[in-house]
Structure 1
Amino acid sequence: MLKLIGSVMVFGSCAALGLSARQNLRRRVAAADAMLLALGLIRSEISGRRTPMPEIVGLLTENEQPIVRKVFRTLQRRLREQNGLSLGYLWRSTLRDCRAQVGLGTQECDILCDAANYLGRYDADEQLTGLSQVERRLAASREAAQEDLANRGNLYRTCGIALGLLVILVLI
């Protein structure tokens, strides 16, 4: 009976590791999607209404996407607390600090950090050009993450289950 309980626990933990790795890939795709939507909103606010960045950040804190809300609430709090620091610095530090919590990959985070070079620094047309470039790169990175999920997601799940079965067979 003790061997059976141990076998079930080993199998469950190995399967959970595989499923967790797959879930991380899924979160990466969802985070990239959410940030693409946020960049689209930023672009439309800059081009249409010429809204200043602090107001855009405030709008994004009310977004229905939890990933966008988390990132931009943190950015808004930092903008209020640390007045002497530039928007670009706060943008980069917020994205790097929130990266793991919202599921962004390192590559997507680096791409989004590049947006700090444009936001709030230049006139609207140059900001829009820079944002369009960041959006294209982020969309390409999102597609690569989607391919990883399609190719490696099932592999991780299957390897976790197979590892659990292998360990059970070795222990029995």
Structure 2
Amino acid sequence: MIKLFGSLLVLLVATSFGFKKASRFAERAKQLRQFITALKLLETEILYAATPLSEAASKIGARIRSPVGTFFAELGHMLREGQGVSAGEIWRETLSAQRRTLALQEVDRDVLTTFGQTLGISDRQDQIKHIQLAISQLSSEELVAREEQQKNEKMWRYLGALMGLALVILLV
């Protein structure tokens, strides 16, 4: 009875590991889509509403789901509180603080960091160009993420279950 329970537990843990690993692929693509949406909202706020950056970030944070929404909400809060610190520096700090909650790869972070360096240092039209550039780069990364998701998601699910089964066979 204990062997059966232990075997079932090993199988369950290995399978859940595989499912968790597989979900990271889907989560990356989803978060990239959310960042694209958020940047489009930021573009609208800057271009048409002429909303200050801190207020725009807070509005976006309220409209986008977590963890990307949390990133923008925190960014808005930090921009309001960060006297004497550039918007780009606050963007970078917020991005690094949210590193664990965001399922982004290094290339995604590089795109966002590069965009953040231009934040708040130029006029509206130049900001719109930088936002559009970041959107196009994130869109191409989203395509890569979707391809990786299709290729790897099913594999990790099966791999987790099969690894658990192999461990059970070896332990029994």
Structure 2, unaligned stretches of length 5 or more? none
Aligned to 1:138: 138
Moved more, 46-55 or 134-143: 46-55
Aligned to 2:12: 12
Q: CA shift at 1:157, angstroms?
A: 0.7
Aligned to 1:80: 80
Q: What pairs with 1:119-158 in structure 2 (closer than 5 Å)?
A: 119-158=119-158
Q: CA shift at 1:168, angstroms?
A: 1.0
Is the 8 Å Cα contact of residues 53 and 76 (structure 2) preserved in structure 1? no
Moved more, 58-67 or 111-120: 58-67
Aligned to 2:68: 68
Aligned to 2:91: 91
Q: CA shift at 1:148, angstroms?
A: 0.9
The one-character-per-residue Cα deviations of 1:105-130 (angstroms, maximum 9, x if unpaired) are 33222211111232211111111111
Moved more, 89-98 or 65-74: 65-74
User: Secondary structure of 1:101's match?
Assistant: coil
Is the 8 Å Cα contact of residues 75 and 94 (structure 1) preserved in structure 2? yes
Task: Point out 4+ residue stretches in structure 1 off by more than 4 angstroms.
Answer: none
Q: CA shift at 1:135, angstroms?
A: 0.6
Q: CA shift at 1:155, angstroms?
A: 0.7
Residue-pair matches, total: 172
Aligned to 1:161: 161
Q: TM-score, normalised by structure 1?
A: 0.93
Moved more, 16-25 or 72-81: 72-81
Task: Please give the root-mean-square deviation of Cα atoms over the aligned residues, in Å.
Answer: 1.4
Moved more, 28-37 or 97-106: 97-106
Moved more, 99-108 or 10-19: 99-108
The one-character-per-residue Cα deviations of 1:134-161 (angstroms, maximum 9, x if unpaired) are 1111011111111111101111111101
Paired with 1:81 and 1:44, the residues of 2 have a C-alpha distance of 24
Q: CA shift at 1:51, angstroms?
A: 2.5
Moved more, 25-34 or 73-82: 73-82
Q: CA shift at 1:64, angstroms?
A: 4.2
Q: What pairs with 1:37-116 in structure 2 (closer than 5 Å)?
A: 37-116=37-116
Structure 1, unaligned stretches of length 5 or more? none
User: Secondary structure of 2:67's match?
Assistant: helix
Q: TM-score, normalised by structure 2?
A: 0.93
